[in-house]
Amino acid sequence: MISWLLAYKKPWVWVILHILLGYFSTLTPSVIIAYFYLVLFTSIRAFTSPKSNITLTILIAYLVPLEIICRMAQTSPFIPYELSKYLLFVLLVIGIFSGRNKGRIGLIMLILLLPALTIDLSNEVHFKDLVFNVLAPINLCLGVIYFYKQRIDIHRIKNILIALVLPLISALIFTYIKTPDYDDIDFQLGANVETTGGFGSNQVSTVFGLGMFLMFFLWYKRISLSGSRFFDGALLFLFVLQGLLSFSRGGMIGGALAILVFLFFEFRRKEPNKEYKKGIGKYLIPSVFLVLSTIWIANDITEGKLLLRYQGETEGTIAGSKEKDLNSITTNRADIFEGDVLLFSQNPFGVGAGASKYLRVTQNGVVSHIEFSRLIAEHGYLGLLFFGILTIIPFYAFAKKNRSSMKGFMVALFFLAWYTTFHAATRNFVTPLLIGISLITVINDKTPIPRKQAQ
């Protein structure tokens, strides 16, 4: 099936397929379970063809994001809850041992993570704590090793982006079907699971923020996902609307910031012809107008509570019974961060992977939402060095891509992945997968992506 995705003929068929997957997954998890294993087993050639790195890369980009719809449909134990972590680990290891291992800096980062696996000052860490907290950063390292300097044609980059978006469409449809009539929802100034299919709003907001960014890029660049520009615009609208109505702010803010980063680099580009300048007015303004209109509609649906939510207000601050401060604005993340920093100051070599939630004075028993603070608390100075290397990778990787038409997109993709660690740690596939993809070297990139008119 991955070979069909590489060809990507009859785009409407693919979009309808994923709409149907989302619909039937609300009725029974067996549909998405069967589909996942069908794709996996029919793509076995990706494991055995060392020269076909693009096939394995597309397989990774497509299968890993299916995690969100699998979690929504409650496919465990047939498909593990932590699907992306196990699957990404296996596929990346296969790719690395097939000879695609240019990113040696990823190996250094991996070594920095290992000592904390031998420490547990809490004596309460279980295997599931290690999987939850450490496997994603390990996958991040493997992603750097596998994807860094992987040379992929600019036209194949389009296939990767489409592979990323399609599973998110299934998740989007799932939430819309599960969402009650908007008039029947009592929107409060907190995260709303009624609009996220009953699933974790922070994770849904994170992937819908990614969906918003990817659809904005595709729509702005006139890269057709469905074969219809109108329908692609409708998907962008739906990602923004449902993401906003989750009332979980981190993911949508991340998507919006990624769009701004991308546009910043777009404005700085120097094109050899006037097509670029014409595109700014012809395609950018409608794209921005569509996003802003959706924000206005979402705020109207919630009777103004959406903007209050994004201003950091809560029911308590509105009633005057609670003071508006950094902790209330960040939904207790400031407390968790403070507790992790205190652990670091007391244990500069770390308390051990997965142990911080058991030892933290503030928000004890709560897993960290900020990967930086978790790293320094559990890995100590090595965690600080790890995050420092992660932060400077783009300055080195993108330094020689000043003339690339994809530089702005790749930087924005990296930024979105990096920013996600500050509100969702590394809970899902977004950070390890996107950081890896952002490090791909795009070839045949002297001209912009062809803007073929959508049919």
Is 63 domain-assigned? yes
Q: Please spell the DSSP secondary structure of 369-406, one letter per residue.
A: S-HHHHHHHHHTHHHHHHHHHHHHHHHHHSTT-TT-TT
Is 316 domain-assigned? yes
- The rounded distance, in Å, linking the Cα atoms of 276 and 267 is 9
**Res 430: pLDDT:** 93
The range of the structural domain enclosing residue 155 comes to: 2-100+150-331+398-443
- The rounded distance, in Å, linking the Cα atoms of 111 and 122 is 23
One digit per residue, the tens of pLDDT, for the chain of length 455 reads: 777 777 777 889 999 999 999 999 999 999 999 999 999 988 876 666 555 678 889 999 999 999 999 999 999 999 988 899 999 999 999 889 887 777 889 999 999 999 999 999 999 999 989 999 999 999 999 999 999 888 888 888 989 999 999 999 999 999 999 999 998 998 888 888 899 988 888 889 999 999 999 999 998 888 889 888 889 999 999 999 999 999 999 999 999 999 999 988 887 765 545 555 555 666 678 888 888 899 999 999 999 999 999 988 888 888 777 788 888 888 888 999 999 999 999 999 999 999 999 999 888 888 888 999 999 999 999 999 999 999 998 887 777 655 567 888 999 999 999 999 999 888 889 999 999 999 998 887 654 444 443 33
The total of structural domains in the chain comes to 1
Torsion of CA 184, 190, 193, 199, to 10 degrees: 180
- The rounded distance, in Å, linking the Cα atoms of 16 and 31 is 15
- The rounded distance, in Å, linking the Cα atoms of 339 and 374 is 10
Q: What is the pTM of this model?
A: 0.91
Is 174 domain-assigned? yes
How many Cβ atoms sit within 10 Å of the Cβ of residue 289?
10
**Res 401: pLDDT:** 58
Is 105 domain-assigned? no
Torsion of CA 346, 352, 354, 355, to 10 degrees: -50
How many Cβ atoms sit within 10 Å of the Cβ of residue 447?
12
Is 381 domain-assigned? no
The residues near 181 (Cβ < 8 Å, ≥ 6 apart) are none
Pick from 7, 46, 20, 3: which is nearest to 166 by CA?
Answer: 20
Pick from 61, 53, 58, 37: which is nearest to 432 by CA?
Answer: 61
The structure tokens 């992306």 sit at 84
Is 94 domain-assigned? yes
Is 411 domain-assigned? yes
- The rounded distance, in Å, linking the Cα atoms of 388 and 384 is 6
User: Phi and psi for 74 in degrees, rounded to 5?
Assistant: 60, 60
Is 49 domain-assigned? yes
